[in-house]
Chains A and B, each alone.
Chain A
Amino acid sequence: MKVFVIDLARCNGCYACQFVCKDEHVGNDWTPYAKPQPDTGQFWLKMQEEVRGTVPKVKVDYRPYLCMHCENAPCIEYCPIEGAIYRRDDGLVIIDPEKCTGCRECVDRCPYRAIYFNENLYIAQKCTGCAHLLDDGWEVPRCVDACPTEAIKFGEESEFADEIARAEVVHPEGGYKPRVYYLNRMKRFVAGTVYDPVEKEVIIGATCTLAGNGKTATATTDEFGDFWFKDLEETGTYNLTIESDGKKKVFENIDTEKDVNLGDIPLT
């Protein structure tokens, strides 16, 4: 069974995957696998991006996002037309463009919002895993071939056992058993810079203790006076204590609904 394994820590956000998906499917008719994707506005593979943090602790979080080719695919379950949406022997889920009647049931039922409705052709459409190419001798879909950092990989589930063991899926709670696995998702961070306002010097080696969600983590400020707590939960409140040379500062109730940059912190 085929899977996609996407290492988010190696995605540079270049959008090559999104563009080559269009290069393959816009203006090219691959019936019976797929009819053309609209030129704009729809993305069988969509690069998502989010700016995280505030100046000067800022990261950009990219995520290539596509049909999850679920083992328990609601689109198949709820499609009223026999065989219009089907799962191939290799696990790829396909909407047959000639059998689709345009009822939109799958568009509404897809928990991943990965199915688009093509108003001109009056059919539902989505990623096919470039099944037309795989059946013609290609080893990987276009997005994988074009990925410059090998962040997006595609292959037999068995070949990726190690990666899958430490990967996450989107909406695991739904039980859809998606076949797109993500590695190294960026979690919440709390960061800042500690300095001495009298000497106008950063404080190196200050001990920072972050407590919350039943856990305690410590970090030491680096050569720039910076501390970073990464891999925090998205929900929770934390207390941060910064200590150096008998000086102490406490931040209470830090909410990690968003990433938190505490800025340049004077320690007196």
Chain B
Amino acid sequence: MMLEEKNRGGNKPTAARPDTAGDKTVIRSLALGGLLGGGGECAVDVKDGKILRVRPFHYDWKYDREALNPWKIERNGATLQPLFKALPSPFSLAYKKRTYSPNRIKYPLRRVDWDPEGERNPQNRGKSKYVRISWDEATDLIASEIKRVHQKYGPLAILTQGDGHGECKTIHTPHGHQARLLDMMGGFTQQVRNPDSWEGWYWGSKHVWGQGSQGMMRPADNVLKDISEHSDAVLFWGCDPETTVWGFTGQYASRICYFWRDAGIKQIYVCPEVNYGAAVHADKWIPVLPNTDAALQLAIIYIWLKEGLYDKDYVATHTVGLEKLAAYVMGEEDNIPKTPEWASEKCGVPPWTIKAFARYLAEKTFSIAHYFGGSFIRGPYSHEAGRLECVLLAMQGLGGPGVHQWQISYIGMPRAKGVQDTRFFNTALSERLRVPCDSTIFGWGKQLIPKTLIQDAILNPPIVFWGDGGIESPPEDQFVKYTYPIEKEKGGTEIHMIWTDTPCRITCWNYGNKTVEAFRHPSIECVVAQHPWLENDCLLADIILPVNTNMEVDDIVTNTRQGVHFQSVTLLNQAIKPVGESKSDYEAVLEVAKKLGKEKEFSEEKSIEDLQKEVFDSMALGNFISWEDFKEKQYYAFPTAEDWEEDTPGLRKFYEDPENNPLPTPTGKLEIYSERLAKHFPDDHERPPIPKWVEKGITHDERLSSDRAAMFPLLLMSNHGRWRVHSQADDISWTRETPTCKVTGPDGYKYEPVWINPQEAEKRGIKDGEIVKIVNERGIVLCGARVWERVMPGVAYVDHGARYDPIAKDVCRGGAINTISPLGVSSKNAAGQATSGYLVDVQKIEPKEWARWREENPAAFERKYCPDAGLHFNGWVEGGNE
């Protein structure tokens, strides 16, 4: 028979086998958390100067498995152990597409109608195209602008935006080099990077349990073991362990969830949408309307109080102020008992489910898992949900066996031997290497503006604010009043120049359309941006420097934050030569420093290898391996500490003896009532001394009860993107093919998805795959409709961070949803962002609207665009379309 004859096998290719290994293999950390830590470790094979492949790094490449001393946790016959390979996120494995992206900036650019000797045309930022200039011209322009601004207004007239996430590098870390240079020249005004995924804990929970870790529970050592051994259930309250974790270390949280399933630990998801964790791990999904979690939490407390279902002894010895909260919850204060029926009207959860949930939680031992957050913790008044979460845990014996708040895999993992600091800003490193990152961690500039208040600072100075908003600022700082500008005698001045290496305000922060307006203000005379890709705020710049990616530098990275299987330090040997004329962020600022006579001071005359060695020494790696051996192996992986199981879990010491192990609060207890808030802000109804439900206030009117809801009847929620880290990685053609990344419109453009429930779609006549507009008073964002059951009715869900593509005034085709998020911050005295849980409508687009946009801005529709990867460098460069 023919088949047999052909099927004879052994039909090996006749030609020579191809070379699959390539010329060299280098190591990379391709997570996108950045700062001074790594994660997402990959091995990159390189051939003929091109990236051949990116694959998960195997820790046992050059070390014995036994030497790594793998740990083990067991429950009910299930076992969790680390693997000997890293689990990089899918976009890390696709990173070659970012390095070779068609959106890469290939050479320095100047805005075509920005003339420092003549007309600067600030009103054309975001509209005009760019022309190619040389590095020499670009750095001359920047140096002369710095000198001019310094002379005319003083050093503090330059605003640095040098903060946030990015690629994992150390010497060439993506942010803050310009601040280090300007600090050598008299100072700068700093955009202080506020929390952008944990606002509610930062502005709320800190007033209950003290500083914590960015406002979240701390200490949190050894919590994985304690939850795994003692909890009956884990709540994923607005948490997506299959998304947010990806950006920082990879996919380990996924394995923890599967282990918990095997171990019989129930996983309950409380969120408006079937997020990617709920999609595969949820034993129970409780859909809650965006930013109404505080109502649900209050109703749970109501049931516990009414039925006596809480740990009264613990409350008596470990907390202060429950009686005041109880008076509010039971309706003694305002005649409104916070019953399940009351809450149900607001949060959309049926009263019977709320009661059942409350009793279930009281009966079982539970922890609450997060990995930063989306809808739950980033909305208007998010500090109330943040504080109420602490109260829920407090009423059930926080710190006891199996009762924790846990940033899943981010902290609380088995301890490694020899790692000095597992935090994201690695204090073990030398000051020289840490200074650039300080702009992300602290308010260290002489004049400060919280990131959420930049628009106001430019458009409506002076401004005042409470607390600098720096990630590591203590809760006490929230009672300090700041002004911008500071006093003239101290060098205070309004800003007139902006230097950003963080060009993502439009798409990542509050009210992006207002950012555009602020950048066009005539007081802003010069905007410099440096970045690898021509996107977002780059389009508002006057001078643009091309920066290279992780693949193109020689560096070293400390993969010491937890969530990797084995922590390590890896040498990043250059994989490929820089694309185009790009330089690293450090090198780009060094080029400017040369023009300002600051080269020696800035470089400290240290070579890259000197700095690599400085990292090796400051990490005390010499105790384990010689520098020569390290260079040869390219990495050192830390073994698990022998005695890791003895580490005290979480707040256990406080749980056992609160008098001798007080919390860092004024009373040393969990402050359900905050005397400090009462004293400093007696008239603040948006963040009162006890946590409350705030229907509306002077800062926000974004509830379904608002009059505005007649026009905008849906609550918009925004998470971290599945396929991006904030604004990073929106251009990978492979991720953009997935049904949750983009929706291909009939016009061939790939739109950002908006999830809506079939009931809402039907009301509006919207079909899956259709191009629709998300609207409110602040503008219009175009999206592709994803009509499905993964989201509850009443909600429009769009992830933030898609690339800005303006086609008309306040109209974004790229799906940058934060362009229309509220300007208002968390609340009156809390300058967090509030970019989820606000009113919009989703509507069909009329043909005449398309016609009007095309007429208003034909160039926007003619820009070069590649459907696979999206926006294209050439689209904004003069002559680029030819």
Contact = CB atoms under 8 A, between A and B. Distances in A.
A186 B21 CA distance: 39
A96 B14 CA distance: 10
Given A55-B287, A77-B6, A225 B94 contact: no
Contacts of A195: 350, 352
Nearest to A28: B52
Contacts of A33: 13, 18
A249 to B, nearest CB: 16
Q: How large is the interface on A (under 10, 10 to 19, 20 to 34, 35 or more residues)?
A: 35 or more
A12 to B, nearest CB: 5
A72 to B, nearest CB: 7
Nearest to A17: B90
A236 interface: no
Contacts of B55: 20, 23, 142, 145-146
Nearest to B250: A148
Interface string A126-161: 000000110110100010011011000000000000
Contact of A58 (B89, B734, B789): B789
B771 interface: no
Contacts of A86: 6-7, 9, 11
Interface stretch (B276-284, B444-452, B533-541): B276-284
B21 A56 contact: no
A14 B734 contact: no
Interface stretch (A46-54, A106-114, A205-213, A238-246): A46-54
Interface string A194-209: 0110001110100000
A225 B356 contact: yes
Contacts of B342: none
A200 to B, nearest CB: 5
Nearest to B246: A14
A126 B282 CA distance: 35
Nearest to B5: A82
B286 interface: yes
B87 A224 contact: no
B255 A58 contact: no
B40 to A, nearest CB: 11
Contacts of B350: 195, 264
Interface string B343-366: 000000011110111011001000
A19 B352 contact: no
A224 B357 contact: yes
Given A14-B90, A40-B737, A223 B12 contact: no
B738 interface: yes
A15 B90 contact: yes
B619 interface: no
Interface in B228-278: 242, 250-252, 254-255, 258, 274, 276, 278
Interface in B59-76: none
Among B11, B13, B90, B278, max chain A CB count under 10 A is at B13
Contacts of A53: 789
Interface in A24-54: 24, 26, 28-33, 39-41, 43, 47, 49, 51, 53-54
A77 to B, nearest CB: 5
B15 A14 contact: no
Contacts of B279: 13, 58-60
A56 B285 contact: yes
B93 A16 contact: yes
A215 interface: no
Contacts of B21: 136
A23 B93 contact: yes
B861 interface: no
A202 B355 contact: yes
B246 to A, nearest CB: 8
A41 B750 CA distance: 13
B738 A15 contact: yes
Contacts of B360: 223-224
Nearest to B55: A145
A179 to B, nearest CB: 13
B353 A202 contact: yes
B363 to A, nearest CB: 8
A3 interface: no
A266 B363 CA distance: 25
Contacts of A62: 280
A87 B792 contact: no
Nearest to A130: B20
B18 A51 contact: no
Nearest to B340: A200
Contact of B284 (A19, A94, A226): A226
A241 B350 CA distance: 23
Given A19-B90, A28-B53, A40-B868, A88 B2 contact: no
Nearest to B243: A14
Among A94, A223, A264, max chain B CB count under 10 A is at A223
B183 interface: no
Contacts of A201: 352, 355-356
Interface in A74-94: 76-77, 79, 82-83, 85-89, 94
Interface in B854-868: 868
A125 interface: no
A174 to B, nearest CB: 14
B10 interface: yes
Given A28-B52, A62-B280, A200-B351, A19 B93 contact: yes
Contacts of A88: 9-12
Interface string A218-234: 00000111100000000
Given A19-B90, A136-B20, A146-B55, A223 B356 contact: yes
A201 to B, nearest CB: 5
Contacts of B212: none
Contacts of B357: 224
Contact of A82 (B6, B20, B251): B6
Contacts of A59: 274, 279-280, 282
Among B279, B352, B737, max chain A CB count under 10 A is at B352
Contacts of A63: none
Interface in B278-299: 278-280, 282, 284-287
A14 B251 contact: yes
Contacts of B788: 51
Interface string B850-882: 000000000000000000100000000000000
A32 B13 contact: yes
Contacts of A196: 352
A85 B284 CA distance: 48
B3 A77 contact: yes
B284 A31 contact: no
A22 interface: yes
B561 to A, nearest CB: 18
25 contacts: A11-B280, A13-B279, A15-B738, A22-B734, A26-B734, A32-B14, A33-B13, A40-B733, A41-B737, A55-B792, A56-B285, A58-B274, A59-B279, A59-B280, A76-B7, A79-B6, A86-B9, A89-B9, A98-B15, A138-B20, A195-B350, A200-B355, A223-B359, A225-B353, A264-B350
Closest 5 CB pairs of A and B: A32-B13, A60-B279, A86-B11, A148-B251, A148-B87
Interface of A: 10-16, 18-20, 22-24, 26, 28-33, 39-41, 43, 47, 49, 51, 53-60, 62, 72-73, 76-77, 79, 82-83, 85-89, 94, 96, 98, 132-133, 135-136, 138, 142, 145-146, 148-149, 193, 195-196, 200-202, 204, 223-226, 264
Given A12-B242, A135-B17, 17 more contacts: A12-B280, A14-B254, A16-B251, A40-B737, A49-B739, A55-B791, A76-B7, A77-B2, A86-B7, A138-B20, A142-B55, A145-B55, A148-B255, A149-B251, A149-B254, A202-B356, A225-B356
